[in-house]
Amino acid sequence: MRQDQFLHVLDRDEAMRRFLAALGDLRPRRVETVPLEAALGRVLAEDVASPVDVPGFDRSNMDGWAVRAADTFGATEHTPRRLRRLPETVAMGTVPSATVEPGTAMAIPTGGVVPRGADAVVMVEHTHLDGDFVVVTQAVTPSRAITYAGTDIAGGEIVLRAREVCTSRETGILAALGLAEARVFARPRVAILSTGDEIVPPGAPLTPGRVHDSNGRILADAVREQGGEPVPFGIVPDDPALVRDAVARALTGADVVLLSGGTSKGPADLNVRAVEEALGPEAVIAHGVALKPGKPLCLAVSKGKAVVVLPGFPTSAIFTFHEFVAPVIRALAGRALDEPTRLSARLPFRVASESGRTEYVLVRLTEDDRGGLVAHPIGKGSGSVTTWSHADGYFVIPQRVEQLDAGETVEIFALAGERARRVDLTVIGSHCVGVDVVLARLRDRGFTGRLIAVGSEAGLAAARRGECDLAGAHLFDPASGRYNEPFLTDGLTLARGYGRLQGVVFRPGDARFEGRDATQAVREAASLPGVVMINRNRGSGTRALYDRLLGDARPAGHGVEASSHHAVAAAVAQGRADFGIAIDIVARDRGLGFLPLTEERFDFFVPAARRGRPAVSAFLEELERPETRAALRARGLVA
């Protein structure tokens, strides 16, 4: 028999380059819908927008009394405040009918619906009863002990993004949203052929010269770990015709075909010749790669499908599998490449902790201008579903440490044995649906991205510190009457974004707003009894718009800070607030009334040191593409 030596041994990088070039497009090839119980471990094929608000109502975080926070100001043990006790008590699973008026309080359990008029809960330990009065001995601030509807997830908000792998965190979110199915990428089918006259299946008795088929089991489970679906073809004897026929059959239904053994120069090692005969000699990209272990590796491609003959020794087989095959399977499955399980990162600001207990702080990771990681703590609280889902990892604050300083280095641990997630592009700043549009289009170009919504001012500060790739902002300068440009400083450039219309949102038919001038309507409504507003978070550009509009007025609800336009619309649509300020897109999506206030610019601050990064360049290019501008206009933005 013929004994062929390796004619052209390639180095690892050149072999991989040729292999990937021959394979071409490695995006997922099929999408399917699976029931929720089958979604674990699958890769989402599309963004998931919440059909509901989570929580669906304003919820008390403790047993106590629902009050107006202003009624408790100045309360101490020595100077308590007395509030009239309302006869109604909040019952679990029901909406209270009474309203908390000034000077009153309503009993409420943990998890109960916060009654209209209340903006805080006083814990029961800081009160006692005196006849028909509740005696409050400690003051509370607005929003104390309340989780507002839509605070965790607002209806219409993108909560999971395409290409995220569904762990128990993601399936928990899908369940919380009431979704019974998920759209996922179909697993790439990987045919596995074990070859050799000496191979017997596990469980079969061994005779001299025989070995159990360990490669078949190792490779099948390794395929599953990478997101593929193994298709066992069993053991094929050392017969060229049988191997050739098995390869041809495997290619009809598989995306990748793996063989183990038969790559070297022994007289019975026939797999490479069988592949050449089945596919044609031109299909073999490399036979022999400068690896130890793994030199006998053979890489071939047939009509965009990988056919790989791995070395027969188990160590060589699994090593070369992870080097060359695993990236292909992960790409076809829509998965990112693995990352280390532990990383070091610095804190961008001081983090306080309660002495006496060990604290685990969930974080999102970004990269600074020097290539170091920055750990941004996620502050939604222990009751949030999305905190766990969005985290890239966590660090530990020991029980006797009360504070970690800004700039301090912490060790990041991956969640539940996973590897810490990294993305190509990080946008920090104001929330906007336009950013979601651009990030979705970037994913189609192979770039992963994330938005950390902290408001325009905080985003600008992060850009100045070099902690993000882009900062989305709509900051208005009253002196010049311009957006964003006046806030440029050394080390930053400004990328043109798009316009969007901000205005007052309200429930249709409300005569206080319907058909009126926005500024006049808000200023008049702010002085009316019983009107409740919904505010935005400090540091956001929309908050500055509120401040200019309201002046010194502080209507009920001023202390309630929504984190996004979606959350504002949710509060108004549900009747928890009578008005708020948001972009016209969310008002339209919710069927709300809208009074225009101003057309503002939403642009992107770009740290100069990052402008040349591939993902940043791709984002800026995408912003200017006619197709992207059309997609932004389709969402109601001025592009």
Q: Which of 195, 157, 165 is nearest to 182 (CA)?
A: 165
Phi then psi for residue 217, to 5 deg, are -70, -45
- Per-chain mean pLDDT for the chain: 88
CB atoms within 10 A of CB 346: 15
Strand partners, 351: 404
- What is the CATH T-level fold of the domain 12-29+186-333, as seen in this structure? Molybdenum Cofactor Biosythetic Enzyme; Chain A (3.40.980)
Rounded to an integer, what distance in angstroms lies between the CA atom of residue 560 and that of residue 578? 13
In the chain, where are the structural domains located?
12-29+186-333, 31-54+152-185, 59-147, 342-417, 431-639
Closest by Cα among 422, 416, 417, 443 to 374: 422
Residues whose CB is less than 8 angstroms from the CB of residue 556 and which lie 6 or more positions away in sequence, other chains included: 68, 117, 119, 530, 531, 532, 533
pLDDT above 60 (res 264): no
For residue 4, pLDDT beyond 60: no
- Grade residue 186 by pLDDT with cuts at 50, 70 and 90: very high
Closest CA to 440 of 163, 68, 217, 216: 163
- Contact (Cβ atoms closer than 8 angstroms) between residue 80 and residue 136: yes
Strands (E), 438-512: 449-453, 470-473, 476-477, 482-483, 492-506
DSSP 352-388: E--TTS-EEEEEEEEE-TTS-EEEEE--S-TT-HHHH
Q: Tell me yes or no: is domain 342-417 CATH 2.40.110.10.
A: no
pLDDT > 50? residue 268: no
Whole-angstrom distance, CA of residue 595 vs CA of residue 562: 19
At 415 the pLDDT is 64
DSSP-based three-state secondary structure for 394:
strand
pLDDT in tens, 600-627: 899 999 999 999 999 999 999 999 999 9
Would you say 265 and 3 are in contact if contact means Cβ atoms under 8 Å apart? yes
pLDDT (0 to 100) of residue 379: 66
Rounded mean pLDDT of 141-166? 90
- The answer to which of 5-14, 103-112, 119-128, 454-463 has the lowest mean pLDDT is 5-14
Percentage of the chain surpassing pLDDT 90?
58
pLDDT at 356 over 70: no
In whole angstroms, give the CA distance from residue 279 to residue 271. 12
pLDDT tens figures, 392-439: 878 888 877 888 998 899 998 876 445 556 789 999 998 888 999 999
Does the pLDDT value for residue 473 go beyond 70? yes
Question: Cβ atoms within 10 A of the Cβ of 612, count?
Answer: 8
Q: 431-639 belongs to which CATH class?
A: alpha beta
Closest CA to 120 of 171, 168, 73: 73
- The radius of gyration computed from the CA coordinates of the chain, to the nearest angstrom, equals 30
Residue entry with tokens 């929720």: 36
pLDDT value at 270 more than 60:
yes
Overall average pLDDT of the 330-339 stretch: 84
Model pLDDT, residue 591: 94
Give the percent of the chain with pLDDT over 70: 93
CATH architecture of 59-147: Beta Complex (2.170)
**pLDDT band for position 3 (cuts 50, 70, 90):** very low
* The CATH fold of domain 31-54+152-185: Molybdopterin biosynthesis moea protein, domain 2 (3.90.105)
